[in-house]
Amino acid sequence: MEKLIPNIVSIAGVDPSGGAGVLADLKAMSALGGYGCAVIAALTAQNTQGVTGVQAVSADFVALQLKTLFDDVRIDAVKIGMLSDVDVIKVVAEAIKTYRPRYVVLDPVMVAKSGDRLLPESCVETLKSELLPLTTLLTPNLPEAAALVGEDEISDASEMPHLAQKLLSMMAPRAWVLVKGGHLSGEDVPDYLTNGLETVVLTSVRTQTKNTHGTGCTLSSALATLLPQTESVPEAMKKAKHYISQAIVHADELSVGHGHGPVHHFWEKW
């Protein structure tokens, strides 16, 4: 039987430098055997050194993009990234309820690698109430997880289970949370994946590079692409973790910008 190539959509913002947002998402999807689609939810003026502007796309036009796409294309998984407007969050949630894609991966993009805030405070509560209950897999880093639960950022891996349980309490039964440990100090980077019943901790050796722009976007897109192609969330996570780890290892082969450069999405192809 011929393999079915999954159709994945990224609902996110645009980074003109290509390291994050929908451009990075489409690269990861393509590298891992998916057909990438995109619904543009926000525009940014940014490069590897910082963000100079953010402009939301109107909620009505985001809704039109979603309807037009879903009415025609079978979507096997959704990756949700940067949403910088309350009304946009609501129309994305409504589309998820209407079209009921099997997998929804939510990367709660809040702060850029440069430290610039991408998600206004006014959007956090809407994201929690509207999208978290519809999410299959939530992929926050430690600052994002702290903001979602309303607590101080943790500094020790032993606190990750507590943080994950707090996040799971906001989600539907059988949903998964991936708490990413890249912000912890130390040579190893632990990622804590759990649905409350099954837990997997994956650890990688930290790569010394400044070129880590878009790692969260890339990992969440990898997961959305691999979920329809694997038997379980942990299996998809193991493959996605290998992919992003190697994309970081090979990041210095690229020469893009003067700040935090992108990871190498096509490390295995080029």
* CA 162 – CA 31 distance, rounded (Å): 34
Given the residues 48, 135, 194, 215, select the one marked as catalytic.
215
Given the residues 36, 217, 225, 261, select the one marked as catalytic.
217
Q: Which residue has the tokens 């050194």?
A: 49
Buried b (16+ CB within 10 A) or exposed e, 217-227: bbbbbbbbbbb
Domains and CATH numbers, the chain: 7-253 (3.40.1190.20)
pLDDT the model gives residue 37: 98
User: Is-catalytic flag, 180?
Assistant: yes
Given the residues 44, 139, 194, 212, select the one marked as catalytic.
212
User: Is-catalytic flag, 217?
Assistant: yes
User: Is-catalytic flag, 123?
Assistant: no
* pLDDT by 10-residue block (mean), the chain, 270 residues: 88 96 98 98 94 93 98 98 93 98 94 63 89 97 90 87 95 96 81 96 90 95 98 97 96 96 96
User: Is-catalytic flag, 214?
Assistant: yes
Given the residues 79, 90, 128, 180, select the one marked as catalytic.
180
- In this structure, the number of other CB atoms found within 10 A of the CB of residue 2 comes to 4
Given the residues 214, 218, 241, 261, select the one marked as catalytic.
214
User: Is-catalytic flag, 216?
Assistant: yes
Contacts of range 59-63, beta carbons closer than 8 Å, 24 or more positions apart = 59/85, 59/87, 59/88, 59/90, 59/91, 60/91, 62/11, 62/88, 62/91, 62/92, 63/91, 63/94, 63/95
